[in-house]
Amino acid sequence: MSLLEQIDMTRLPQHVAIIMDGNGRWAKEKGKLRAFGHQSGVLSVRDTVEGAVKAGIKFITLYAFSTENWNRPKLEVYALMELLVSTINKETKTLMANGVRLNAIGNLESLPGKCYRQLQDTIQQTSVNSSCTLTLALSYSSRWEITEAARSLARDVKEGKLDPEVINEEMFASRLTTAGIPDPELMIRTSGEYRISNYLLWQLAYAELYFTAKLWPDFRREDLYEAVIDYQKRERRFGKTSEQLQKSC
């Protein structure tokens, strides 16, 4: 029985978030430049997204470039931006063929003009697709996102448009970059690191966390399926006891 056949399709996570870590180490192990690892990681993205579509997962969010990544060596940042543009160009047909809608979150205006324009073009071209929404977190940090949401609410309060007493979790979430997207039920991080690195801090409040030692360029759809199978073995209590959950069933 294949891994896909072992998945309970009635208990799929609707949204899976992934921290794609280990490209640089993978390249170093092979005596290559870090950029080679990023290039190889594109194959992992393609296979993982296609695997998600086949399994019926509706939302995939990938941590592609953090605000902190701007502090990396300029040559690596330049190579990443060029790779992003070329990859979006090449993968648009694949996204269309698989019914994948492209989305992006983060401080997108900080991206180079060429990169930003290509990103927006592909987002527009794929906007009619509905099999799966692939969100790229680019120039993204969760603290930046939360700060911007708080600033947005504060402006409305200052201008008399909003009573601070009515601000609740739902309203705050509506000001986040992920507004309209369900919170992830499962977060996967590759490369053996055990942290979430300023990624979707609000949205991951009740997500199941899955860590694998596999470096991102070696990650494939079977690894995604293994993570989903592990997720389905867990009891998600949301603060309740097991007994309470059993009574509600």
Both tokens of 119, joined, read 């990103």
CB within 8 Å of 50: residues ≥ 6 apart: 94, 98, 221
Are 88 and 122 spatial neighbours (Cβ–Cβ below 8 Å)?
A: yes
Q: Which active-site residues does the annotation give?
A: 21, 69
C-alpha to C-alpha distance for 217 and 21, rounded to whole angstroms: 9
Beta-bridge mates of residue 223: none
3-state secondary structure 128-162: CCCCEEEEEEEEECHHHHHHHHHHHHHHHHHCCCC
C-alpha to C-alpha distance for 80 and 13, rounded to whole angstroms: 30
Both tokens of 170, joined, read 């739902």
Are 191 and 25 spatial neighbours (Cβ–Cβ below 8 Å)?
A: yes
Residue count (the chain): 249
Element (H, E) at 9: none
> Quick check: helix, strand or coil at residue 181?
coil
Beta-bridge mates of residue 209: 187
